[in-house]
Structure 1
Amino acid sequence: MRHNPDYALEDLEVIKELITAHPWCTFVAHTAAGLSASHYPVILDDQADADDGELILLSHVGRPDEAKLGLGGADGTEPGELLAIIQGPHGYISPSWYGYGPNVPTWNFAAAHLYGVPEVLSDAENLAVLHRLVEHFESRLPDPQLLDSTEETSHYAQRIVRGTVGFRMRVTRIEAKEKMSQDKPMDSVRTILEQLRGTGPYADPALADRMEQVNGAALQEGAR
């Protein structure tokens, strides 16, 4: 990802929040067969004994994606480096919204590229990760359907473990960017927010919320 100091996202806690809010992850691997990509949910391993400043991801893939992503196998091969891509809110920004010119169209977005070598988990560890994944997403519902809710679901969970491969990935390198018009005059930012919260073809309340969060201090300062 091209580096731009104006949009660099370096706060680890903000990156963690981005992952938690947008857990549908793209995993990319460079294997002997070439580039391969798969899509799976990911959560943070907040139970790990991680040092300050570390970020650890938990996920799983369905077989045979473990081979496609080079996670190793019975032939004794070791996992290679994975790239995990998290995509936050994003959307089109028209030059007509700035209130001055000339300008060109652009795209506001938040994204994080996370690199690391995955550690493939045992069946027991994989089952524990599947439990945590399901609990993470189901716990918000009024009647959560957990993998250990009943004896039947527990037996079912034992069966599906054989069709999945769980892994833990300690992130060793991060490239993250948040382009939310923070380099623009705050009057322009306010106009963009109005358009994103409007009813036009590029209305995007989620992107507006993210822009407001990123530019919050500057917006408040400009309003005084």
Structure 2
Amino acid sequence: MHPAAAFRHDDRALLEAVVAEVGFGMVFLTTPDGPRVAHVPLLSTGDGAVQFHLSRGNALARWIDGAQALAVVNGPDAYVSPAWYADQGQVPTWNYVAVEMEGRVRRMTAEGLHGLLETVSARHEERVNPAAPWTMDKVPPERMARLLDGIIGFELEIAAWRPTFKLSQNKPAEERARVAAGLDRTGAPALAELMRRLAP
């Protein structure tokens, strides 16, 4: 789908919030072995970078340090039925949120990797297990050392943000309201709420 200018958002706080809320994405790189992608937890540093880790055996691990890469976080998405419009001259489409971040990647130190893993696990443990969150110190030190030796931490310094918030902004307000109601009925309330808040 072509990301038209109407679907752009320049609100940096909103983009950071999408990355933080989703917490997972894809990192793409063209390598000498061909194009490759890694699916990774992503941590926004809040100051223009995202951090992630790869297994040493990952197809990107040997090429990505110092390379220009692309990280993508996908937010909510859903099919939009033409039946929801008052104007019956419409066709199906898809509404979605995606944040693309391009920049140079650098390898993190062992201390930086440890800090990344602690932050990521603490953030998600607070959400899924607030009464008794898991912490890294529960793993025996020898075992943790072996696990850490099998992964590498990286930081992508964002030089370009390319967000797409396709929320029917190209339709009249009454049609957007009908689409949002249809999304609510069909199990996509998060996308419907974003439509109401960002494209009223």
Scaled by the length of structure 2, the TM-score of the pair is 0.90
Structure index of larger Rg: 1
Match of 2:13 in 1: 13
**Root mean square deviation, CA, Å:** 1.9
Q: Describe how 1:4-153 pairs up with structure 2 within 5 A.
A: 4-46=4-46, 50=47, 55-65=48-58, 67-68=60-61, 70-72=63-65, 79-140=66-127, 141=129, 142-148=131-137, 150=138, 152-153=139-140
Is the strand fraction higher in 1 or 2?
A: 2
| Contact 1:120 1:168 survives alignment (8 Å) | yes
Greater relative CO (CA pairs within 8 A, separation 6+): 2
Mark the runs of 5 or more structure 2 residues left unpaired by the alignment: none
Secondary structure at the aligned position of 2:40 is classed as: strand
Q: How many residues align?
A: 198
Match of 2:171 in 1: 184
Mark the runs of 5 or more structure 1 residues left unpaired by the alignment: 73-78, 219-224
| Contact 2:78 2:183 survives alignment (8 Å) | no
Scaled by the length of structure 1, the TM-score of the pair is 0.81
Q: CA deviation at 1:3?
A: 4.6
Structure 1 outlier segments of 4+, above 6 Å = none
Q: Distance in 1 between matches of 2:109 and 2:59?
A: 14
Deviations 1:161-197 (A, max 9, x none): 1010001111011111101012212221222222212
Change (3 A) 1:210 1:136: same
Match of 1:76 in 2: none
Secondary structure at the aligned position of 2:6 is classed as: coil
Secondary structure at the aligned position of 1:139 is classed as: helix
